[in-house]
Structure 1
Amino acid sequence: MHLTTTVLRRTLLALLVSAALYVTYNQLTGLTHNDWYESNTLDTQIHEQVIQEASSEGLLIKENASVREAVAQIEEFANFDAFPTRRVMATGYTAGMESTGKEPGHPAYGLTYSGVPVSRDVYSTIAADPDVFPIGTVLFIPGYGYGVVADTGSAIQGEIIDLYYDTVEDVFAEWGKKEVDVYIIQEGNGQLSEDEFRAFQENRAVDGFTPPV
């Protein structure tokens, strides 16, 4: 009984202190609860309007856009003219036996040389010769999207890159093998972590990189 009374007293005291602080703050600032509500609502509306305007102008990749739609949007609105280019032979690969010699269940299945899991999205994992494009290098490949060098391969020597796709059918249907001029967006330092790759994937800006000086 004594414990219950003590708890009630402390709760009542806390409520009284909170009420006193609230009243004092309102008197000092002149703000009411409605003012806070209206201010927060306005801030939210402004934020949403900015996002909508940016999206409508092509500055942000549209939410829920497919990879093809996102790449088309980037190619329409982004300007890569200030970035250096390099002509390469681009092929496609998968995580499967036909490309890596590994099957599902293998401890290294689906993992790139850098340790980052393979991924096909607006920013995809690709393989390259690290003497040409160090691990962590970001390329823009017209028709494919951003490729982040995360992998290597015994057959990937010199001016060759290997673009990741989920299936062999996707490789043949969407790419095959072709020469292409790629844009060197950001040169890597030889390493790539999952957090770094995730940060790339979360970048929704169509033209989210600063050209080199």
Structure 2
Amino acid sequence: MRILRQSWGATLSDLRREIGLSPTALRQQLTLLERDGLVQRALARGRPGRPAIVYQPTTAAGPGSEEGFAALLTAVLRTMEEQGPERFGQILEGVATRLAADHGRIARIPHAEVRIRAALAVLFDVADEAAVTGGGREYEIVLRTCSLLPVAQQFRGLCAITRRLLGTLVGADVEQLESIAQGAPRCRFRLTLPGDAGAAT
């Protein structure tokens, strides 16, 4: 999203040069963003040959949307918190389960790294900046920014629901090794896949 906002649009080739993902992985992430109403397609005319498809951010993804969403999320979490810690935890768990069900197709992606990046695209607007390393059964994710940092600092449960949802979408055990909300310079996650899940990587 950062790249699309800065240039107000980019072709698949542009995004490949900037991010380094395969066309398949990029298309999967762009499909998710289109479905969520954050990206739209347009034809770039004025060049010789067939018009190129340009992916552009919609007004819903424009400047200030993160701040508005953070304020809304803070209000929702405060209201939930007033229900008491036990009920608060139950609601967060229910939200994670519902979101995982809504994005269940991600769990069916056979290649682990593509699955991880598709899950990151759902969870983070800075997913294109995430570093994903590893292979086989062990992967590590590093994020150096957090658009919901003010919310996460007030509600540590937000990090827990992120881990829960990431693990459900990817089909992995997730451990958070570092957290920006707790003063670290980055968020770092370790993902461990089941014994037979690394075969398709």
Q: Do both share a fold (TM > 0.5)?
A: no
Higher relative contact order (CA 8 A, sep 6+): 1
Q: Normalised by the size of structure 2, how large is the TM-score?
A: 0.25
Q: Normalised by the size of structure 1, how large is the TM-score?
A: 0.24
Larger Rg over CA atoms: 1
